Amino acid sequence: MVDVRQLSKNYRFQPVLRDVSFAIETGKRVALVGPSGCGKTTLLNCLGGIDRGDHGSITIHGLKLEALTLEELTLMRRKSIGTIFQFFHLLPTLSVFENVEFPLQLLGIQPAERKARVSELLDRVGLFAKQASLPTELSGGEMQRTAIARALVHRPSLVLADEPTGNLDSINGAKALDLLAELSDEYKITMLMVTHSHEATHICDHVFEMNDGMITSSIKNK
Ligand SMILES: Nc1ncnc2c1ncn2[C@@H]1O[C@H](COP(=O)(O)OP(=O)(O)OP(=O)(O)O)[C@@H](O)[C@H]1O
Ligand SMILES: [Mg+2]
């Protein structure tokens, strides 16, 4: 599903990713752990096609990202990738419903199907009753559940999550993790999740440890 080979990247001659290689099988969840500044977000951004490495290759679903044009990369991202951020990144002027609907609009999906899919997912994350609320009217846990719904609504094959529980208390963090595990099992989603939390590593099949731009260990969980 995901195959990264000898990926390297520098920021102003400073190496940030050094010869990173790994593969993730379809439907598996991987936790990426490591100290601040070691390159975790940069790696996620390269996989998500919003940043590019200097050397090496990334293959997602048989597509070599470095061989794609910018338009092809954008299309691949919209169709196949869902992203969850630490600070939720909801669009502040859109309602919960509209935030979750947004990825479907980008894909040109018709209104009736959009409504059906958004409603189903809002129901699953327990936010059906809050669909008309604005993000500012939500609790942190509700914001992150909205963001989870938005990341999954277009049924991506790959979800990239950067500290998805980093700004939640332990109860809401656990709720978000349960949802992520349950929905990614059900939709057969492959997931790479940056995290500092032990609880989050527990819902993953593998834990990759990163240090100084390199993957220094890979541990199988179960
Ligand atoms: N746009 C940029 N320009 C220059 N340097 C950058 C840029 N983005 C990141 N870096 C540097 O690259 C290194 C890796 O950053 P990255 O954000 O990937 O770390 P991280 O592992 O996600 O850290 P954290 O756990 O704090 O989020 C850091 O030294 C950072 O300062
Ligand atoms: Mg980061």
pLDDT in tens, 8-61: 999 998 999 999 999 999 999 999 999 999 999 999 999 999 999 999 999 999
Question: Among the atoms of ligand 1, which is closest to the Cα of residue 38?
Answer: 21
Entry pTM: 0.95
Range(s) of the domain holding residue 40: 2-220
Determine the pLDDT at residue 87: 87
* Nearest protein CA to atom 16 of ligand 1, as residue: 39
CA atoms within 13 A on the CB side of 120: 11
Q: Which residues pair with 23 in a beta bridge?
A: 3
CATH classification at residue 8: 3.40.50.300
The C-alpha atoms of residue 130 and residue 151 are separated, in whole angstroms, by: 18
Determine whether the shortest distance from the Cβ of 38 to ligand 1 is under 6 A: yes
- Of 70, 55, 150, nearest to 102 (Cα)? 150
Query: What are the pLDDT digits (tens) for 133-155?
Result: 999 999 999 999 999 999 999 99
- Number of domains into which the chain is organized: 1
End-to-end CA distance of the chain: 20
Region for residue 84 given its phi and psi (left: phi exceeds 0; alpha: psi -120 to 50; beta: otherwise): beta
* Nearest protein CA to atom 8 of ligand 1, as residue: 42
Q: Is the pLDDT of residue 222 over 80?
A: no
Query: What are the pLDDT digits (tens) for 193-214?
Result: 999 999 999 999 999 999 999 9
